[in-house]
Amino acid sequence: MLANPALVELLNRAVEKPVSRAEALQLMAKCATDSLVATAGKIRDRTRPDVVTYSRKVFINLVNLCRDTCTYCTYKKEPGDSLLSMMGPQQVLAIAEAGKKLRCTEALFVTGERPEQKYERARSWLSTLGHSSTIEYIQEMSELVLSKTGLLPHTNAGSMTKKEMAMLQDTNVSLGVMLETSSERLMGKGMPHEDAPSKNPKVRIKTLESAGELRMPMTTGILVGIGETPDELVDSLFVIRQLHEKYGHIQEVIIQNFAPKPDTGMAQAPPASSEYFLRAVAMARIIMPEMNVQVPPNLNPDIFGRYIDAGINDWGGISPVTIDHVNPEFPWPSIASVQKTTEGRGRRLRARLPVYPEFLKGGFITSDRLKQYASLITDDFGLVREGYIND
């Protein structure tokens, strides 16, 4: 993939303005990786200079029963599994309080997709807690954590209806749902999402659209290397870009690489190659110049610094308290090591809230109470006060 004058001209234009889909497909197919990375880095330096952020969090694994089955997932558990999680209020509060002591600012609530629709165990558990749905229970736990600790909730519970998201609007500063891919082909027989109805791109896109109508800040992203083609990868990024162009509510895009895990349907599948993933990261920045682009550092522990070169400006949530329950095989690096790597690439590491400064200040947070909690720990730029972390 040697550079040619037309590609060089296209890359130079990309530094100044977003590319079209046709141009992005051309770059993905024909442009050398080094050139993509260099261009993405220039764009990030223009739009998101100097600082790389992260969110200091606790991971609250509320319930890991799930109605879906994805062939790459180890998060989902079955009744009777020793790692089944069905957390009561005191367990939730204990984790949040531990996070508060270590100056965390985010309470990440994660659950399986609507477990009450598949499991009697989940329905009975929710009933004993006074609820008929997982979202109702998340609403109660978000209120508990917010009021007792001041940690700001961010919920990732899969696809949600507009009504369900509205239920969380007073206690959650943001929500998350991974698009993963816009390719319906991956729903087909023998494909990763065959038994995962909520991973239908139409369902995920509807959730993101509903959040936009509610003006809820949303985190989304793609999973790279699960069988998509390079063209489908580009198309997925454009779906996200178009949603943001319409509603303005996508606060960050996560680019996550597939890694095979034992005892899953894709255990023998090859991981996303490092070069293909690097190209995906760079394309995300080229396609969405102004976006906050994140790569989780724990999934690439030895090489995560290179993604700064490829245009990212965020590391996502890192916890000094809890493991990554979605990827327990990949422990988070220490915040000190992330800081060293970030500074080694000429940038400062700063803690942020689970809502980005531009959304905190841009009228997306309608709850005065959430604004008040945020104001207690943020500086004039909307980032976490450095004194708060070090007190």
**Domain ranges across the chain:** 20-390
Summarize the confidence of residues 27-48 as an average pLDDT. 96
Alpha-carbon span 23 to 231, nearest angstrom: 12
- What is the pLDDT, as a whole number, of residue 4? 84
**Maximum Cα–Cα distance across the chain:** 67
Question: What's the pTM?
Answer: 0.96
- What is the pLDDT, as a whole number, of residue 101? 96
Contacts with 53 (C-beta within 8 Å, 6 or more apart), sequence order: 292, 313, 314, 315, 349, 350, 351, 352, 356, 383
Closest CA to 172 of 256, 80, 236, 107: 107
Q: Are 293 and 314 in contact (CB under 8 A)?
A: yes
CATH T-level topology, domain 20-390:
TIM Barrel (3.20.20)
What tens digit of pLDDT does each residue of 213-260 get? Answer: 999 999 999 999 999 999 999 999 999 999 999 999 999 999 999 999
Residue 24 is inside which H or E element, if any? helix 21-30
- What is the pLDDT, as a whole number, of residue 1? 46
Strand partners, 63: 86, 111
- What is the pLDDT, as a whole number, of residue 2? 47
- What is the pLDDT, as a whole number, of residue 3? 56
State the average pLDDT for the chain.
Answer: 95
How many residues does this entry show for the chain?
Answer: 391
Buried b (16+ CB within 10 A) or exposed e, 286-324: bbbbebbbbbbbbbbeeebebbbbbbbbbbbbbbbbbeb
Contacts with 134 (C-beta within 8 Å, 6 or more apart), sequence order: 62, 63, 111, 114, 115, 116, 122, 126, 157
What tens digit of pLDDT does each residue of 283-318 get? Answer: 999 999 999 999 999 998 889 999 999 999 999 999
- What is the pLDDT, as a whole number, of residue 320? 94
Phi-psi region of 141 (alpha: psi -120 to 50; beta: other; left: phi over 0): alpha
Summarize the confidence of residues 268-274 as an average pLDDT. 93
Summarize the confidence of residues 34-43 as an average pLDDT. 97
Tally the C-alpha atoms within 13 A of residue 388's C-alpha that lie toward its C-beta: 18
- What is the pLDDT, as a whole number, of residue 351? 97
- What is the pLDDT, as a whole number, of residue 391? 60
- What is the pLDDT, as a whole number, of residue 366? 82
Does the pLDDT value for residue 81 go beyond 80? yes
| Residue 51, helix vs strand vs coil | strand
- What is the pLDDT, as a whole number, of residue 76? 95
Per-residue pLDDT band for 365 (boundaries 50, 70, 90) equals: confident
Residue 255 is inside which H or E element, if any? strand 250-257
Summarize the confidence of residues 351-375 as an average pLDDT. 92
